[in-house]
Structure 1
Amino acid sequence: MALLLAGCSGSSLGSDSTPSGGPIRIGLVWPQTGVYKTVGDDFARGWQLYLDAHGGKLGGHEITTTVVDEGDGKQATRTGIKKLIEQDKVDVVVGTISSDAVQEVQPAATAAKIPFLATGGRPDNLQNLAFTWHTSWQNRDAGAALADYIRTTVKGPVYAIGPDYKGGWDQVGGFVDPFVAGGGKLANPDGKATFTPFPATTNYLPYLNAIPADAKAVFAFYGGANAIDFVKAYAQAGLQAKVPLYTGGFTVEGAVLTAQGAAADGIYSSLNYAPDLDNPANRAFATAFQSKYDAIPDLYNVTAYDAALVLDRAIAAAGANPTSASINATIGKLGQLDSPRGQWRFGEQHAPVQPWYLRQVRLDGRGRANVVVQTLTTLGQ
């Protein structure tokens, strides 16, 4: 992806009272290394697809973009967001996949009064959301969307497992809490979900071999390289044909599904997008994406694409000389958006109110894909 780098110091928009009318500077915080690098690549593709379709402009204005690496942990993100705000003087921040990264970017952007459009998971402990907007999901939603379905479909206890960091706690907890509250039983020996060291764990066989014999299903959340290792280990442990695996959709999404190969066959997941959704926006998006990249689109392409869509609409509505403040104000007034995932809007907590789908990994003629089985529910706030 060709990125235009900002070449001068000082804010391109100037102060709120004296806008300069220059290009709008956008800082992109996406993983370029580490466990989630493939997700960063997916974000870049979706973002660029929207820009290509709109002459490289957003809201009719020229933009410049600067990318910093989210990496695997908080330190890389902390360094990156400091650079974007203090050195590059960005007017808007877009990006992040992990909860650790969000917890570094969000307070920094809020303190600087810069809109932050997050393209990945939102942890459940953020404060002061005035400048924070997620075009993606709340971490607990993927598991919550599946809880009642699994409880009423699986006849017996379910084993729950995920990575030991904020994103993993939220994703797995989103399933466990409503599942147990509804009368479901965990198969974990201590009655609590199992968490594996993050990101260091690469061998999941010891954990999988410890799953009790009475477990009738497994719920898991992993992403990036960890998801590849986990799903392959699940098949290697002989569980694939015996114990149904349900996941937050991120575990079988995008490049990781290709890398997982046949080990992913049959896995059920919940997510707010699938490439075979039949709506006008997705038909146009999927066609354009496959034409440009010769690949099936995924959710990460969509959340970055939608971040560009949100900014396009908000900047256009912010007047001839948009400011960070005026862009932020117009984001909150956009209303319903026609997205490849289906129509959605920002809720009171600036997270998407959107449908969630049950999907299953199947061969669909072109390769493996997450095929929609049914709509599960609508979540968000």
Structure 2
Amino acid sequence: MTLTLPRRSRARTAALLALVLLAASACADDGPAAGSGGTVKIGLLASLSGTYQSVGKDIRDGFQLYLSGHDGKLGGRTVELVVADEGNGAATAVPAATKLLKQDRVVALTGVVGGGSVAAVYPLLNETKVPFVGSNGRPELKDVSRVWHTSYLSDEPGEAIAAHVRDDVKGSVYAIGPDYQGGWDELRGFTEAFAAAGGKLANPDGKTTFTPFPATTNFTPYFARIKASGADAVYTFYAGGAAVDFVKQYAQSEIKDVPLYAAGFLTEGGVLDAQGDAARDIYSVLNYSPDLDNAENREFVAAWKAEHDGSPTTYAMASYDAAAVLDRAIAAAGDDATPEKINAAIGQLGQIASPRGTWQFSPTTHAPVQKWYLRQVRQDGRALSNTVVGDLATVGG
């Protein structure tokens, strides 16, 4: 049976439908979604495949852990979290970020593992005017007005440990790392600060040895060079699968008794489980360890262990903090949580309570001013762990 509306009712219905369609069209052309209707859309880009898959998963899981502990909300708004795979670098990161920023129209972007990916995605942030709250290393950028990081700048770990290595080794140090943006930044931070502190590199040309990335899986030829240099210690940066290969081969090499110092990513998280006893006694520098004794860390570690095997990593912690930053900023942005208002609110946050200890954004770099810790791989019950053995420098600003 067909019902026929009176002519006046049909006219009113048509007019109402036209208004609804007009409003929908305006919203579709209005840039990033502003979180209307009590929701907010956040984009998370991380390496969920490739060499740094374990890092990317920790970044994703750290952010989701914060959400699960806050009823799935940030700033009082229900979060629609759109997750995309960064892959192995810029070639896959850029199209994934383009979809998040232009098609999904997120109000903020977070995550990103690789420094090269950050540099490649950076122009999109300026184009779309969306703030980025990164949770892993970052290279230097000219304009950070929409770029924030809850982790570190990529040269800071090496900078923080350089003076300690000079004092501890009292001899020459061989610097080696992967040949890509992250490796360049990480090793530059160490070598420049080491030289400024009066340290001497054992590398024959006085320059860091860079290994092809991701092609290098056999490090034996490089260990022969280190032995020939007469180095008293080695400083390195590797992460992910390359860190497992490097550490296992180092422990079986002719330089196995040469002390090994590293940016903490060499033994962080799941790679330590894969390295096993080969990682024992390695010294590293990092901004976080699960054994830090403060209320925020105890709560964070307990929540993580309730949902995951093992202890949380610095990647998970920084992403957890990124969610905390966005939580406060979205709340401060008020009813109309646009990207511009969220970005402005981040700059006004001040001190942030964190599992790593209290920190705040540098007004110039938009990266944390924070303490760095000296760690050593030691036995902790039945397992090996990165145990804090001392405080290093406070870096940032």
- Place the TM-score, normalised by the shorter chain, in its bin: over 0.9
State the distance in 1 between where 2:135 and 2:25 align: 27
State the distance in 2 between where 1:111 and 1:190 align: 42
State the distance in 2 between where 1:17 and 1:196 align: 43
Equivalent of residue 236 in structure 2, options 220, 238, 251: 220
Q: 1:155 Cα deviation (Å)?
A: 1.9
> Could you tell me which residue of structure 2 aligns to residue 113 of structure 1?
129
Greater CA drift, 94-103 or 64-73: 64-73
Q: Deviations over 1:282-303 (max 9, x none)?
A: 0111111112213211101101
Q: Is the 8 A contact 2:176 2:208 kept in 1?
A: yes
Give the direction of change, closer, same or farther, for the CA distance of 1:371–1:19 in structure 2 (3 Å limit): closer
Give the direction of change, closer, same or farther, for the CA distance of 1:9–1:224 in structure 2 (3 Å limit): farther
Q: Is the 8 A contact 2:162 2:194 kept in 1?
A: yes
Matched, 1:31 2:25: no
Give the direction of change, closer, same or farther, for the CA distance of 1:262–1:238 in structure 2 (3 Å limit): farther
> Could you tell me which residue of structure 1 aligns to residue 60 of structure 2?
44
Q: 1:14 Cα deviation (Å)?
A: 5.1
- Any unmatched runs of 5+ in structure 2? 1-23
Give the direction of change, closer, same or farther, for the CA distance of 1:197–1:11 in structure 2 (3 Å limit): farther
Q: 1:209 Cα deviation (Å)?
A: 1.6
Q: Deviations over 1:340-378 (max 9, x none)?
A: 011100001210000000000011114111100111010
Give the direction of change, closer, same or farther, for the CA distance of 1:226–1:365 in structure 2 (3 Å limit): same
Equivalent of residue 56 in structure 1, options 53, 69, 72: 72
Q: Is the 8 A contact 1:34 1:71 kept in 2?
A: yes
State the distance in 2 between where 1:10 and 1:368 align: 57
Equivalent of residue 262 in structure 1, options 264, 277, 287: 277
Structure exhibiting the larger radius of gyration computed from Cα positions:
2
Q: 1:11 Cα deviation (Å)?
A: 6.8
Question: Which structure is higher in helix share?
Answer: 2
> Could you tell me which residue of structure 2 aligns to residue 161 of structure 1?
176
AA matched with 1:296 = S
Greater CA drift, 128-137 or 13-22: 13-22
Q: Is the 8 A contact 1:10 1:88 kept in 2?
A: no
AA matched with 1:39 = V
Give the direction of change, closer, same or farther, for the CA distance of 1:17–1:44 in structure 2 (3 Å limit): closer
Give the direction of change, closer, same or farther, for the CA distance of 1:19–1:229 in structure 2 (3 Å limit): closer
State the distance in 1 between where 2:28 and 2:326 align: 16
Greater CA drift, 364-373 or 12-21: 12-21
AA matched with 1:161 = I
Matched, 1:290 2:316: no
Where in structure 2 are the equivalents of 1:340-379 lying within 5 Å?
A: 340-348=355-363, 349-379=365-395
3-state DSSP of counterpart to 1:122: coil
Equivalent of residue 131 in structure 1, options 146, 149, 158: 146
Q: Is the 8 A contact 2:107 2:130 kept in 1?
A: yes
3-state DSSP of counterpart to 2:285: strand
Matched, 1:323 2:346: no
Percentage of pairs with the same residue: 51
3-state DSSP of counterpart to 2:116: helix
Q: 1:181 Cα deviation (Å)?
A: 2.1
AA matched with 2:346 = I
Q: Is the 8 A contact 1:119 1:136 kept in 2?
A: yes
Aligned length: 372
Relative to the length of structure 2, the TM-score reads 0.90
State the distance in 1 between where 2:373 and 2:310 align: 21
Q: 1:10 Cα deviation (Å)?
A: 8.7
Q: Is the 8 A contact 1:28 1:95 kept in 2?
A: yes
Give the direction of change, closer, same or farther, for the CA distance of 1:71–1:274 in structure 2 (3 Å limit): same
Relative to the length of structure 1, the TM-score reads 0.94
> Could you tell me which residue of structure 2 aligns to residue 236 of structure 1?
252
Q: 1:9 Cα deviation (Å)?
A: 9.9
AA matched with 2:335 = A
State the distance in 2 between where 1:19 and 1:223 align: 36
Q: Is the 8 A contact 1:272 1:355 kept in 2?
A: yes
State the distance in 2 between where 1:76 and 1:94 align: 16
Give the direction of change, closer, same or farther, for the CA distance of 1:366–1:237 in structure 2 (3 Å limit): same
